Amino acid sequence: MKKNIFYAIVFIFSIGTAFSQSMSEVELTEEWKDKIYELAPDKATFPFKTKKKVLVFSLHTGFWHWVNPHTEAMFKILGEKSGAFEVVGSRDLAMMEKNKLKEFDLVIFNNTNSKPTYRNLFVDKLTEEGNMDSVAVWKKASELEKNVINYVKKGGGFFVIHGGNTTLNNSMEFSRLLGGSFDYHPKQQPIHVRLVDPQHPLVQAFPAEGFVHTDEPYFYKNAYAALDFKPLLYFNNAEIEAQRKGQELTEGVTYVAWIRKDGKGRVLYSSPSHNAQSFENPDLLQFFLDGMQYLVGDVEVDETPIRK
């Protein structure tokens, strides 16, 4: 009984702390990076034979997430401190060409938000460049999308962070690759993130009762309905405030992070995080590092989709 009361007090306190962070922009400084370096895992959880090469792709044409440079810095820190990854960053669309993608064991889409007009990052950027007519733009954009999909099917790792799910939000093929498309999100709020299976190797970093995380609670559409993935984290729908009017969910759950196998490759989607303050949670840093190792094949885990 005393233990349950203790956990309740900790949970209430953490909600207040998360809400008070709320989350104002934090400058990306050497001091901030030093803090994250200290909080990051000292070594990789799973044994690895060779250092893997990682691309953090941070191009956006739509909504700008102020956390983008922090996210790239965070992944570089995880790679450097663990010794498991060599991480480079880019906003160059040419990195989506086949000959570029094959240089990497893992590609991370870091809030690669597209504009609402077409919800197609590649169309947006090619149009901005202005050296193609619309027919050529859409043809080239389709080619780049196929490059990404085939990169995964042939064995590449694919990690999509937060708003990166809007990259090609109207493409059902991309939605199936990722496991779902962005629908909408209510306001930022403290979310009690829970573990689907506390025994799963990729969530061992977190307490069994989950954790409180201030973020935008994402809801999904398109391929998400098929549940063709192995869920890792979730929230209870009834606990989410300010849902879309007329579509409020008062029961059931929505998943926060999941994995899936696609061909020879692996995919991980993680809704956290919209805020750099989230990276000051060492458990979340461990989750990201463990996820990276899963994506490059350093560990075999249960990937069985819940639809099965």
Q: Tell me the pLDDT band of 22, cut-offs 50, 70 and 90.
A: low
Of 105, 41, 107, 57, the closest CA to residue 296 belongs to 105
Which residues on adjacent β-strands are paired with residue 267?
158, 260
The yes-or-no verdict on residue 308 having pLDDT over 90 is no
Cβ neighbours for 30, distance < 8 A, ≥ 6 positions apart: none
The yes-or-no verdict on residue 176 having pLDDT over 70 is yes
Mean pLDDT of 54-79: 91
Q: Spell out the domains of the chain, with CATH numbers in brackets.
A: 2-295 (3.40.50.880)
Q: Cα(219)–Cα(245) distance, rounded to whole angstroms?
A: 14
Q: Are strands 189-195 and 211-215 parallel, antiparallel or unpaired?
A: antiparallel
Share of the chain above pLDDT 90, in %: 84
Question: Around 134, how many Cα atoms within 13 Å sit in the side-chain half-sphere?
Answer: 1
Sign of CA dihedral 280, 283, 287, 292: positive
Tokens, residue 78:
């995880």
Q: Cα(104)–Cα(167) distance, rounded to whole angstroms?
A: 20
The yes-or-no verdict on residue 138 having pLDDT over 80 is yes
Q: Tell me the pLDDT band of 123, cut-offs 50, 70 and 90.
A: very high
Contact 32, 70 (CB under 8 A): yes
Q: Tell me the pLDDT band of 242, cut-offs 50, 70 and 90.
A: very high
Tell me the per-residue pLDDT of 197-236, one tens digit each, with 9 for 90 and over: 999 999 999 999 999 999 999 999 999 999 999 999 999 9
pTM of the model: 0.91
